[in-house]
Structure 1
Amino acid sequence: MSVSNTGSYTSQLSAASSSITLAANAVSAPVITRVDDISNYGDGRDLRVNFNRVSDESRIGSYRIFVVKDSKAGSFSLSAANNVPSAYYTQVGKTGYNISQVLSSGARDVDGSLIANGVVYRVFVMAVGTGSYSGSNALSSASSSIVLYGNGNVDAASNVNVSDISDYGDGRDLRVTFNRASDESRISGYRIMVVKSNQAGSFNLSWANSVSSSNYTTVDKTGYNITKVLSSGARDVDGDYIRNGTSYRVFVLSIGSGGYYGSNALSSYSPAITLGTNGYVGPASNVSVSDVSDYGDGRDLLVNFKRADDERYISQYRILVVKNGDAGRFDLNDANA
């Protein structure tokens, strides 16, 4: 939580980190370093997963890669991972090195659905104990979200971020930044789409393509990464005016042109943002957590976060640890109390 240093401004609460359960694990968890969309097959071959091996691989026999729909990632746990059928994960042998694994054409998510374009996923990796450590498995934290797009080589925008920069109470408060598509010769421009956070997990390329032109913001390509402040009349994809007090995530759609007309590509979503009258006290972002020791107390928990963009009105940050079952209803009022 970002805390005002004057008492004149409203404090701001970051989005929650991924969930973590501390335990004295005999087997340590791998760490996912990145997930990438590398091809245009429209199946698991598009998805590459990179992760760091566990420090002591003598205790494990292999790794399992789990692909989870983003809407279900918050509840995916070690217990759930242990019960996934073998047809619904990818088994990877240990190598003594960090691993980069491209999935197969028949790879499925943990629900049994073939991995496909236009679905928001997160990835987990489990270290599988062996020998005297059999049954002592350890699950990584979730990866960043990823959307595969089979789009005739139209590239998606990336690194979408959002900031609350003013106090108009409308779209002018919302600044969106993103990295341009790697090859802009195949696109005409971009569409910024503001989605209520509770719908972001199901927002996909098909939905984005069908959004009415009055419910997104068009941005021309520039050859550079883009910063855009929305207008007073900006609306979310449901047609509601952007306003204070609603949690949003933002997507960017790259629009194919010429021979690529109709072949659009959707970015992953931004961190969540709730606009408010906040005197420019911005929230921290990119909150991540790791289990780093085996003391059985707070010393096991490493917390990383990105500082607020403007710290002039912030006196301190407060790290708040919330039980996973309570996180969905934890808000700024709870944090301030």
Structure 2
Amino acid sequence: MSSRADIEALEAAIGESIIGQAAVVRRLVIGLLANGNLLIEGLPGLAKTRAIKAMARHLEADFSRIQFTPDLLPSDVTGSDVYHQSEDGPVFRFSPGPLFANLVLADEINRAPAKVQSALLEAMEERQVTVSGKTHPMPDLFMVLATQNPIEQEGTYPLPEAQLDRFIMKVLIDYPSVDDEVEVIRLVRSEEQAAQEKSGHSSAPVQIAQSAIFAARREIAALHVAEPVERYMAELIDATRSPQRLSEDLGRWIELGASPRASLALDRCGRVHAWLNGRDYLDPQDVQAVAPDVLRHRLGLSFAAQGEGINMEAVIEQLLAVVALP
């Protein structure tokens, strides 16, 4: 089976567990193939955790879940040196925390204070953790998938900009349609019936090997990117830093522009989007398709935008409209 067929099988298997959220499933796969971390935001009960668990279930990978709470400590995430009594005397040995897995679910990440959130920064960016002066590398396949609720304020700590910038995309989950919700009811009912019957005849879940992910990444890295498309991505990000040059409205709405990480994220996610659509080159339409997810957590809106009722989606839509295509 080719790497493309493997990835298509993975996406289809996840989609069977997550009804009416095809765009979210596609973003999970893009984040996986782009070797990035994802921030998933949605109201309670919209299958944020279920979607991540579904991907972990259909991938041959170690999965861990960290429930972020206000009393969590950094060592609860990264691990710590533990005292051992040996024949040669007392020694300290590093005991890895739940962060040392292939897929790490940071559930309700904004419920932990900044000290705990900062414990993730080195792992998310440099794929290593330093404890007591010693560096411990993460697995070759490593991905942090964090969830947060957009409306809860009490007992939450907003993520610092430095950490937000380390998420390659911020994915939004919305309510399903009525027809999709009917399918959700049927799906969960069938799962409950299967659990009650405990039938031994249920088929094993589709599991994709890690080698298929690495093979797909090699193909994606070889995609052709023309110089005009590279320039388009750079100009798109530069427009967030000097928005008044292109639009008076954008100049009034955008207070903080995106960093070069945004350009890199557009390139990586855009190439994955092109590859998933069967192209061996990056098209400007691929860039536009992933731009909202790449930019919505990297831009800072002004008080004027908030006062006018302008949200981030409207700003990004206007930005894509005013930057000329190559």
Instruction: Indicate the structure with greater helix content.
Output: 2
**Pairwise same-fold verdict (TM > 0.5):** no
Instruction: Indicate the structure with greater strand content.
Output: 1
TM-score tier, shorter chain, comes to under 0.3
Could you tell me the TM-score, scaled by structure 1's length?
0.23
